[in-house]
Amino acid sequence: MPFAEPNTTRSASGGQPGSRRAQILAAAAELFARHGFHGVGINDIGAAVGISGPALYRHFRSKDAMLGEMLTSISEVLLGGALERVRTAEGPLAALHALIGWQVDFALDNPALITVQERDLGNLADSDRQQVRALQRQYVEVWVSAISQVVPAAGEPAARAASHAVFGLINSTPHSAHLDRGQMAELLHRMALAAVRAA
Amino acid sequence: MPFAEPNTTRSASGGQPGSRRAQILAAAAELFARHGFHGVGINDIGAAVGISGPALYRHFRSKDAMLGEMLTSISEVLLGGALERVRTAEGPLAALHALIGWQVDFALDNPALITVQERDLGNLADSDRQQVRALQRQYVEVWVSAISQVVPAAGEPAARAASHAVFGLINSTPHSAHLDRGQMAELLHRMALAAVRAA
DNA sequence: GGCTGTTGTTAGCGCTCATTAACCTGGTGG
DNA sequence: CCACCAGGTTAATGAGCGCTAACAACAGCC
């Protein structure tokens, strides 16, 4: 029996109420990213946080619910951050810069989540998938609007395609990462901006 | 019983010897792209080509073998095409243009294969994975060399990271495709070139 | 100090899946 | 014409999976 963290379960002294859930989701994200949703067993996830198998059902209704919560949470965070950055930016170009910086930071800090989001979206339960898709659509719209203001020459469909292309560029992070974080962020930022301007 | 093509099996009149294998691989690629390797059953693949379930074992040793052949084949085609284009290009800039065009065409013509390659590489049997990884490394080297000649200011590690980023940009095709093929190709080409130049 | 709710445990159920076995069929070459 | 074999069928097998059931331990509260 490998020792897990001393979890003082309740709202008492140490840990927040949902800390265990977060820990489980983080471990699951790592595993899903490496082997795919269907390639990871409930026992694998449990083992990764020091408990074994069915104990996870004390924290999540099902394996599908884990993926659902994981992906809706990402989508909400991404959209919220994007709206916030655009709101506080001064001018369209600054907004685009802020969006790129936000996506770059998120991708560099959460490579596993990025991988899972674009790999296992199709494995979501129907209602979760609808919700995630809706959030993603809104996120894309924020980008389309920002791009259209900086590069009005491109039509709206082109701006939409360009958004997806830039996501692909920035989200390539999990496949490379041979530079240190600072250099990587700067490189991706420059490339993304140049790509958008060429649209 | 839905009618499949009239297959004159042997090396006789109509079809080549391996036509059925190719047909199966194409169907499997489509399914793998949509649901992931572990999300597709042997019966699904069979049904997609009009035969049912275990008949596939007359053509492939195992389900893993299908994925293996699919991915090694892609990698070989990509590498071969890249070498050919670089060889016949006049000057470094022309070589880079040719590489970008090659990757763009391949991604637009084979979105399912692109998806499978970056999603299910981890589900390959060990020996197949080694082979595919080796081919991919060579492919990246071709790009690194081309980029380094056009943008010598970027170091080799940056050129490598830039390669992956450009792959991500171009391979974003399966997630968008709202423009027609010609416009999409041109847009991706422009964006990719601009991104590389900014590296 | 016993009660209770939270968070674990292990055993087992039912289902799906890849793979194999055993059998069928129709075109082709001798 | 007949034997063969490539290519197809359905049934069975064995492993692995998600999930539930039944039970244990331990914290905090009255």
**B61 near B24, Cβ under 8 Å?**
no
Q: What is the reported pLDDT for B176?
A: 85
A1 beta carbon to strand D: under 7 Å: no
Lowest-pLDDT range of A168-177, B1-10, B134-143: B1-10
* A175 and B CB contact within 8 Å: yes
DSSP, collapsed to helix, strand or coil, labels residue A3 as coil
pLDDT tens digits for range B67-86: 999 999 999 999 999 999 99
> Looking at the partner chain, which of B122, B157, B169 has a beta carbon nearest the beta carbon of A168?
B169
Is B164 within a domain?
yes
Confirm whether A38 is domain-assigned.
no
Containing structural domain, residue B185: 63-198
- Tokens for A145, please give them: 């609007």
How many Å lie between the alpha carbon of A124 and the closest alpha carbon of chain B? 11
Buried b (16+ CB within 10 A) or exposed e, A131-142: bbeebbeebbeb
pLDDT digits (tens, 9 = 90+) for B85-104: 999 999 999 999 999 999 99
Q: Is residue B28 part of a domain?
A: no
DSSP class of residue A198?
T
Would B2 be classed as within a structural domain?
A: no
Say how many domains are in chain B: 1
The answer to whether B10 CB is within 7 Å of strand C is yes
- Whole-number Å distance, CA A41 to C1' D17? 7
The residue to which tokens 């379930």 are assigned:
B53
Say which nucleotide is closest to residue A24, CA to C1' distance.
C7
Read out DSSP for A105-164?
HHHHH-HHHHHHHHHSGGGS-HHHHHHHHHHHHHHHHHHHHHHHHH-TTS-HHHHHHHHH
Q: B9 falls in which pLDDT band (50, 70, 90)?
A: very low
Give B177's pLDDT tier (boundaries 50, 70, 90). confident
Of B124, B131, B29, B3, nearest to B75 by C-alpha is: B131
Q: Is residue A186 part of a domain?
A: yes
- To test the contact with chain B by mutation, choose from A30, A44, A160, A191 the residue with the greatest count of B C-beta atoms within 10 A, namely A191
Q: Looking at residue A6, what is its pLDDT?
A: 37
Assign B17 a pLDDT band (cuts: 50, 70, 90): low
Given this model, what pLDDT does residue A78 score? 98
Residue B12 has pLDDT above 50, yes or no: no
Does the CB of A166 have a partner CB in chain B at under 8 Å?
Answer: yes
Task: Decide which of A177 and B53 is more confident.
Answer: B53
| Inside any domain, residue B109 | yes
- Res. B16 pLDDT band, cuts 50 70 90: low
Residue B20: CB less than 7 A from any atom in strand D: yes
Strand C nucleotides where any atom sits below 7 Å of a protein CB: 6-12, 16-21, 27-29
Q: Which nucleotide is nearest to A66 (CA to C1')?
A: D18
Take residue B123 and report the two structure tokens written for it: 């589900």
Is the distance from CB of B147 to CB of B158 less than 8 angstroms? no
B133 touches chain A (CB under 8 A): no
Q: What is the tens place of the pLDDT at every residue in B26-37?
A: 999 999 999 999
Of B166, B171, B178, the CB nearest to A157: B178
Mean pLDDT rounded to a whole number for chain B: 92
**Whether A175 and B187 lie within 8 Å, measured CB to CB:** no
- Answer with the residue of higher pLDDT: B18 or B183: B183
Share of chain B above pLDDT 90, in %: 87
Decide: CB of B62 under 7 A of nucleic strand C: yes
Chain A residue numbers touching B199 (CB-CB < 8 A)? 187, 190-191
A48 touches strand C (CB under 7 A): no
Give the per-residue pLDDT at A16: 63
Residue A176, domain CATH: 1.10.357.10
The rounded distance, in Å, linking the Cα atoms of B9 and A137 is 48
Judge whether B21 lies within some domain: no
Angle between helices A92-109 and A111-119 (to 10 degrees): 100
Predicted pLDDT at A4: 36
- Which parts of chain A have pLDDT scores under 50? 1-15
Confirm whether A107 is domain-assigned.
Answer: yes
